[in-house]
Amino acid sequence: MKKFFIIFSIIIFLGIILKSHTNIYTSDKTNHKVDCLYFKAIRIEKAQTKIRIKWGTLKEVNCSFYEVQKSVDKLEWETISKVEGQGNSNEITMYLTYDKNPVFPPKINYYRLKQIDFDGSSRFSDVIYCYLTLN
């Protein structure tokens, strides 16, 4: 019975993650080297001055690191965090960082991941956003 419960929990966990799938693209929009399961930005309720940014991967090939980039207009981007990648991995890996200086309304916080390989090549994720309220 214990073995069944553990296997069942893993299947449900994977099912939840796979529903929020995002992609990491090269400049020509073809999938490449990293299978990204999810990429989310979540306002922290008790500390409204921070946004939690998390993502997970199913597989990584030659992944050196990630840059979390932020924009308020989706035109100009700044790197707010650098997170070391797993190199080569066929296991689920979860990442977490924070935006400690989000913008407040009427502006929206846009985020994307830039994934950089050991050879310097890079690709971007889809863009996500988080809108803070003043209350």
CB 59 within 8 A of CB 79: no
Q: Smallest Cα–Cα separation from 67: which of 85, 51, 52?
A: 85
Span 61-98, pLDDT tens digits: 999 999 999 999 999 999 999 999 999 999 999 999 99
Span 20-35, pLDDT tens digits: 334 444 333 444 456 7
The Cα 12–Cα 17 span in angstroms is 9
Q: Smallest Cα–Cα separation from 104: which of 49, 28, 60?
A: 49
Task: Delineate the domains of the chain, giving CATH numbers in brackets.
Answer: 21-130 (2.60.40.10)
pLDDT of residue 7: 32
Span 41-58, pLDDT tens digits: 887 766 567 899 999 998
pLDDT of residue 32: 45
SS3 105: coil
The Cα 127–Cα 22 span in angstroms is 9
